[in-house]
Amino acid sequence: MNTYVAFLRGVNMMGRKTIKMAELREVLAKRGFKNVQTYIQSGNIVFGCEEKDSDTVEHMLEQIIEEEFGFDVPVLIESPEELEETLAGMPEYVMGDTPHNRVYALWYKGKIDSEKLAKFEAGDYSPNRYSITDGIIYFASPKGAKKGLYTGDFEKKLGIVGTTRNIKTLERMVEMVKST
C-alpha cells in the first residue's frame, strides 16, 4: 500500500466547486482508497492506494471527482517524502519571522516562460518575499494575502496554473501521514 497526499485546486472557494469532505471520503473509500482522511474544507487528503505511479493516481482522482461531483478539479499528488522535502526546501529568507499561516508553497506544472519570469522579477513586491524553483514557488505575505502576493498573482504574471497551501496546512498534513 502506498500513501499519498492530494491537494485539490480551487474547491469550496466562494461557493464554487463545492465538495463536502465527508462525502469525498466516502466516495474514495468506495472506489478502493484506504484510510482516507481530509483536513479542512479546501481539499487536502491523505490516503492509501495500491497504485504506485503518482501521475496515474492524480488522473484517477480527477476522473472520480468529475464523475461523482460533475466538475473538473486539478489534483496535485505528493508522496509523504516529497511533502517533507517541500517543507524542508522553504528558503529561510522567504520564511523569515512570518507566521506559518502567511507562508506558502505553490505547486505548478510546466515551465515558466523566461520573459514572463524576468518581467515578474523586475517588480517590487516588498514586504513580500518569494523564491521560484522548478515546480514550486515559495512565498510569504507578511501582511496577509489581500495585501500581498497570492496564487493568482503568480498565475497571471507567470502564465502558470497551480495550487497553494500555507505552511501550517502542510505541517498538519505531515502529522496526518505520520499518524496513519
Q: For 129-161, write each residue's pLDDT tens digit.
A: 999 998 999 999 998 767 778 888 899 999 998
Pick 129 or 10 by higher pLDDT. Answer: 129
State the Cα–Cα distance between residues 28 and 126, nearest whole angstrom: 42
Q: What is the pLDDT of residues 104-134, one digit of tens each?
A: 999 998 899 999 999 999 999 989 999 999 8
Do the domains at 2-78 and 83-176 have one common CATH topology? yes
- List C-alpha distances in Å: 155 to 26, 57, 178: 32, 24, 32
Q: List CB contacts of 18: < 8 A, sequence separation 6 or more.
A: 11, 12
What is the arithmetic mean of pLDDT over 88-106? 93
What integer pLDDT is reported at residue 102 of this predicted model? 92
Q: What is the pLDDT of residues 162-177, one digit of tens each?
A: 899 999 999 999 999 9
Given 3-state DSSP classes, what are the helix, strand and coil percentages for the chain, each rounded to the nearest 5?
Answer: 40, 25, 35
What's the CATH class of domain 83-176? alpha beta
Q: What is the pLDDT of residues 37-54, one digit of tens each?
A: 999 988 999 999 999 999
Look at residue 34 and tell me whether its pLDDT is greater than 90. yes
Using pLDDT thresholds of 50, 70 and 90, give the confidence band for residue 16.
Answer: confident
State the Cα–Cα distance between residues 166 and 102, nearest whole angstrom: 6
Joined grid coordinates for residue 76: 496535485
Q: What is the pLDDT of residues 49-68, one digit of tens each?
A: 999 999 999 999 999 999 99
Where are the domains positioned within the chain?
A: 2-78, 83-176
CATH 3.90.76.10 corresponds to the domain 2-78: no
Using pLDDT thresholds of 50, 70 and 90, give the confidence band for residue 14.
Answer: low
